[in-house]
Amino acid sequence: MHPHQTKPQQSGLAGIVAAVLALAALAWFALGGTPALPTPKPRNAPSEQFSAMRAFAHVQALARTPRPIATRANADARNYLIERLRVYGLEPQVQTTTVQKESMDPMENVHVTLAVVHNVLVRLPGTASGPKRPPAVLLASHYDSGNDTQGAANGAASAAAMLETIRVLRAGPPLQHDVIFLFADGEQVGELGTQAFVEQHPWAHDVGLVLKFDNIGNRGPLVLYDVFKADSNVISGWAKAAKGVRGSAVMSEAYRLMWNRVPAGPLARLHTPLLQFATLDGDRGPHDTPERLDLATLQHEGDAMLGLVRHFGQQALVHETQADRVYFELPHLGIVHYPVTLVWPFTRLACLLLFGVCCLAAQRQDVALIDIVKGTFGCAAIAVTPAATAWLLWHNGFRQLVSGDWDGTRLCAIALLGGALFILALRRLQRAVGWPACVLGAMICAGAALVAISWSMPVTTYVLLWPLLGALTAYAALLSRRVAALPAARLPVLLAGAAPGVLLLLPLARDIFVPFSLARTNLALALLALMFCLSIPLFVQIARRFAVRGLAIAGLVLLGTANPALPEPGERPIASPLVYYKDMQTWRSWWLAPPQPLDDFTRSIFPNLPAPRRHVDVFGWDSDDLWYSAAPRNDGLAFPLTVMLKNEEEPRLAEFTVTSKNRAPHIEMWVDKAKINYASVNGRTLTNKTSRSWSMSLYGMEDQLLRFALRVAPHATFYVHVEERIPGLPEHALPERPHTARPVVPMTGTTVAADTLLFRGLK
């Protein structure tokens, strides 16, 4: 029989309506599995309970202004933590130490970070005793922020939740295990605080489990977004102790890939299980203010933090040798997890079932091999096209569709529109190869992808395995003579086959769409396309014109009603883009700003520049375009004190000193036009390998005399650029800001004092 003559048994109007309603109910069930956030508890809540209002008072104290590492605001936040811990009857430690970090990209560009960090630590002793001290639970967050944000959620909220958790634990009986609380410094510039704790603090050797909280957004539920060496006891403990906290292995891998992050960061060197939690929804950067922090989110984080500490503080921290596990959430049913050693047996089972279904279809539906091949490539194209299109259009108008506050309807709209387009594409492919070849092609694509990720990312295989097994089982049932004799059984069988894909892929698409919508909608669309492909038999049943039109109309209606729930961007604070730049080479001061659209106030600072252009006098001909204009002189800002000490050949050696009279919290330094073979400061080795380019960030050096030694290629003439960067601007030099202008985050903008040393090659 020719495949074109193999027609599916399409349902009538009643069957189509039933299928659409059943799919809608299944999608609602899948997306409605997350419980509502808890109601924030008031200040007068019982002492043994976590109160979001009590914690919010700490957030307000910590997040008054940005508090980057080594700044005065950072020290004020640290002093507040110490004061509150002493009020609770504790004597905290301050770990003040120097930490160094080096990174090299594939082009051999080396960047070194050297910083003085100030970690705040406190330890609550447990009741366990014995000849050997039992392992402790480490609860970690950070209290510093970025330069352009008050960091109410990202930093202050988790630190505040830790303070409230300590208060609650102090009000009750002690736990079995010691609990170490780490308020880390310098996390926003490379996780330097946790690195210092792991490398240099004696308590690091006592840790048996790490619970880290590091928020990204300021509202929505807390999620588990990264794990490391988490065995069955740890995963089960999370599922039991942190109610309503979602998480999956795919989300963990997505986070690592999208932010190019090393799993667990420096805490991986503790070689203990780690669970890392965050809130991912809502505002970030300049919009992360105390006023915009959702108190229900803070209550959810605090309840989860307290529950996890109480649970693991009473459990034996003995972990399995085989720690890696596949874990995911089934809506309304909870967490499912199994060892990664079962991945390949399950994958082989799926491949065997796929082979059997292909053979059965070839026998009973007379499907030609060439049509199966065409169907495979056709389904692959249908699945890849939406994701690729979203990626290509990201820098144009498409990102306006997916940016902003996500209110739950955008993903539904995209799913409905995607379903309509998918049915249209499916019709064309079906006319070319027949619907059995479409079905088998989609399953072969999924099977090939399953084998690939079983080898490369085995903990994520569930996202393909169970939807594929469901689709294969349903299609095999359709090929059986018993189901063929019962037309009424076709729709229930098809719905059952599509259920695993809907239950697993739709919530995952939502979880990726929410935190990563600005840049990774293509991943959410790829998951939706996979769900559609594995539901082809069901789509065939409803592939009618009015069904396509109905899906498209419903999607457009939802897209038109997807309005932000919070104030429009015009009402939100912004970070000042201005830089006050005092340049030693020109002996002048300048206002600078990046080449972006300017508001009326900022535009008034650059009255003589119609558009951004290169500032050749300061940065040279090979610099980028920017806004610039002359700025008033500021005698209170000193230039970097740089002194050339040596410039020798054979071997080529350059030595110089740098001192910051401004006690700048941040010094940025880089070498231009020379390859560095070795670098040191005050006898401390910074680099001992050849690099294509070399740069360095220093934090908290205050007014130390820094003596640098550089070994470079012989006869090279090169420059050493030094910039002292201080948060904030000389406000007296700025024009008065009108009341109608958008509010600005306090202490944003940057003041820079710059100098350049020239080392000429000697022949």
Q: Where in the chain is the domain with CATH 3.40.630.10?
A: 52-94+118-330
The structure's pTM equals: 0.86
Query: Which H or E element spans position 306?
Result: helix 295-312
| Residue 263: burial class (beta carbons within 10 Å; 0-12, 13-18, 19+) | middle
Q: pLDDT tens, 23-45?
A: 777 778 877 766 789 999 999 99
pLDDT at 196: 98
Q: Is the pLDDT of residue 283 over 90?
A: no
* Assigned token pair, 522: 């293509």
Of 216-225, 267-276, 323-332, 748-757, the one with minimum mean pLDDT is: 323-332
Listed residue (409, 376, 422) closest to 532, CA to CA: 422
Average pLDDT, the chain: 85
Give the relative orientation of helices 52-62 and 72-87 as an angle to the nearest 10 degrees. 150
Q: Is the pLDDT of residue 71 over 90?
A: yes
Tell the residue number behind the tokens 């592939």, with chain if given. Answer: 543
pLDDT at 83: 97
pLDDT at 478: 81
Could you tell me the CA-to-CA distances from 169 to 124, 164, 175, 447, 532 in Å, in that order?
9, 9, 8, 50, 49
Q: Is 690 helix (H, G, I), strand (E, B) or coil?
A: coil
CATH superfamily ID and name for 574-763 = Macroglobulin (MG2) domain (2.60.40.1930)
* Assigned token pair, 226: 């990264």
Three-state SS across 567-620?
CCHHHCCECCCCEEEEECCCCEEEEEECCCCCCHHHHCCCCCCCCCECCHHHHC
Query: Which H or E element spans position 65?
Result: none
Q: What proportion of the chain, given as a percentage, has pLDDT over 90?
A: 51
pLDDT at 56: 98
Q: Is the pLDDT of residue 353 over 70?
A: yes
Of 52-66, 243-257, 300-314, the one with minimum mean pLDDT is: 243-257
pLDDT at 440: 86
Of 92-101, 342-351, 455-464, the one with minimum mean pLDDT is: 455-464
pLDDT at 2: 46
Please state, in angstroms and rounded to a whole number, the distance separating the CA atoms of residues 474 and 698. Answer: 61
Give mean pLDDT, residues 227-256: 87
How many CB atoms within 10 Å of residue 502?
Answer: 23
Q: Where in the chain is the domain with CATH 2.60.40.1930?
A: 574-763
Max mean pLDDT range (122-136, 205-219, 510-524): 205-219
Give mean pLDDT, residues 492-511: 81
Q: Check residues 557 and 411 and name the one with the higher pLDDT.
A: 557
What's 724's DSSP letter?
Answer: E
pLDDT at 303: 97
| Confidence band for 184, pLDDT divided at 50, 70 and 90 | very high
Could you tell me the CA-to-CA distances from 736 to 301, 603, 740, 741 in Å, in that order?
41, 13, 12, 11
Strands 750-759 and 579-583: parallel
Q: Is the pLDDT of residue 707 over 80?
A: yes
Listed residue (606, 614, 604, 35) closest to 329, CA to CA: 35
Could you tell me the CA-to-CA distances from 527 to 188, 384, 531, 556 in Å, in that order?
32, 10, 6, 20
Could you tell me the CA-to-CA distances from 412 to 80, 328, 557 in Å, in that order?
45, 22, 11
Give mean pLDDT, residues 405-419: 59
Q: pLDDT tens, 614-661?
A: 999 999 888 999 999 999 999 999 999 999 999 988 788 999 999 999
Instruction: For residue 708, report the phi and psi dihedrals to the nearest 5 degrees.
Output: -105, 145
* Assigned token pair, 643: 């002194």
Please state, in angstroms and rounded to a whole number, the distance separating the CA atoms of residues 27 and 15. Answer: 18
Q: Is the pLDDT of residue 138 over 50?
A: yes
Q: Which residues of 400-420 are buried (b: 16+ CB within 10 A; e: fewer)?
A: ebbebbbeeebbbbbbbbbbb
Beta-bridge partners for 706? 658
Query: Which H or E element spans position 59?
Result: helix 52-62
Q: Is the pLDDT of residue 115 over 90?
A: yes
Please state, in angstroms and rounded to a whole number, the distance separating the CA atoms of residues 675 and 698. Answer: 20
Q: Is 100 helix (H, G, I), strand (E, B) or coil?
A: strand
Domain 52-94+118-330 part of CATH 3.40.50.300 = no
Q: Is 540 helix (H, G, I), strand (E, B) or coil?
A: helix
Query: Which H or E element spans position 13?
Result: helix 13-31
Q: Which residues of 689-714 are buried (b: 16+ CB within 10 A; e: fewer)?
A: eebebbbbbbbbbeebebbbbbbbee
Sign of CA dihedral 724, 216, 160, 407: positive
Q: Is the pLDDT of residue 575 over 70?
A: yes
Q: Is the pLDDT of residue 327 over 50?
A: yes
* Assigned token pair, 304: 């989860």
Q: pLDDT tens, 86-106?
A: 999 999 999 999 999 999 888
Amino acid identity, residue 564? P
pLDDT at 253: 81
CA angle 695, 701, 705 (to 5 degrees): 90
Q: pLDDT tens, 505-547?
A: 878 877 776 655 545 555 556 666 666 666 666 655 555 555 5
Please state, in angstroms and rounded to a whole number, the distance separating the CA atoms of residues 669 and 110. Answer: 12
Q: pLDDT tens, 722-759?
A: 999 999 999 888 888 888 888 889 899 999 999 999 99
Q: Is the pLDDT of residue 402 over 60?
A: no
pLDDT at 382: 75
Of 269-283, 377-391, 693-707, the one with minimum mean pLDDT is: 377-391
Please state, in angstroms and rounded to a whole number, the distance separating the CA atoms of residues 83 and 77. Answer: 10
| Confidence band for 474, pLDDT divided at 50, 70 and 90 | confident
* Assigned token pair, 557: 């209606």
Q: Is the peptide bond before 339 cis (omega within 30 degrees of 0)?
A: no
pLDDT at 6: 42
| Confidence band for 558, pLDDT divided at 50, 70 and 90 | low
Radius of gyration in angstroms for the set of CA atoms belonging to the chain, rounded to a whole number: 30
Sign of CA dihedral 310, 313, 318, 324: positive
pLDDT at 398: 43
Q: Check residues 651 and 416 and name the one with the higher pLDDT.
A: 651
Give mean pLDDT, residues 552-558: 70
pLDDT at 414: 64
Please state, in angstroms and rounded to a whole number, the distance separating the CA atoms of residues 232 and 327. Answer: 10
Q: Is the pLDDT of residue 81 over 80?
A: yes
Q: pLDDT tens, 661-695?
A: 999 999 999 999 888 999 999 999 999 988 889 99
How many CB atoms within 10 Å of residue 82?
Answer: 18
pLDDT at 732: 86
Please state, in angstroms and rounded to a whole number, the distance separating the CA atoms of residues 471 and 354. Answer: 10
The pairs formed by 266-269 with CB atoms below 8 angstroms and a separation of 24 or more are: 266/191, 266/194, 266/195, 266/197, 266/198, 266/199, 267/140, 267/194, 267/198, 267/210, 267/212, 267/228, 268/228, 269/198, 269/199
| Confidence band for 7, pLDDT divided at 50, 70 and 90 | very low
| Alpha carbon distance, N-terminus to C-terminus of the chain | 85
Beta-carbon contacts of residue 587 (< 8 Å; ≥ 6 apart): none
The pairs formed by 252-259 with CB atoms below 8 angstroms and a separation of 24 or more are: 252/224, 252/225, 252/226, 252/227, 252/459, 253/457, 253/459, 253/460, 254/512, 254/516, 254/520, 254/523, 255/225, 255/226, 256/226, 258/516, 258/519, 258/520
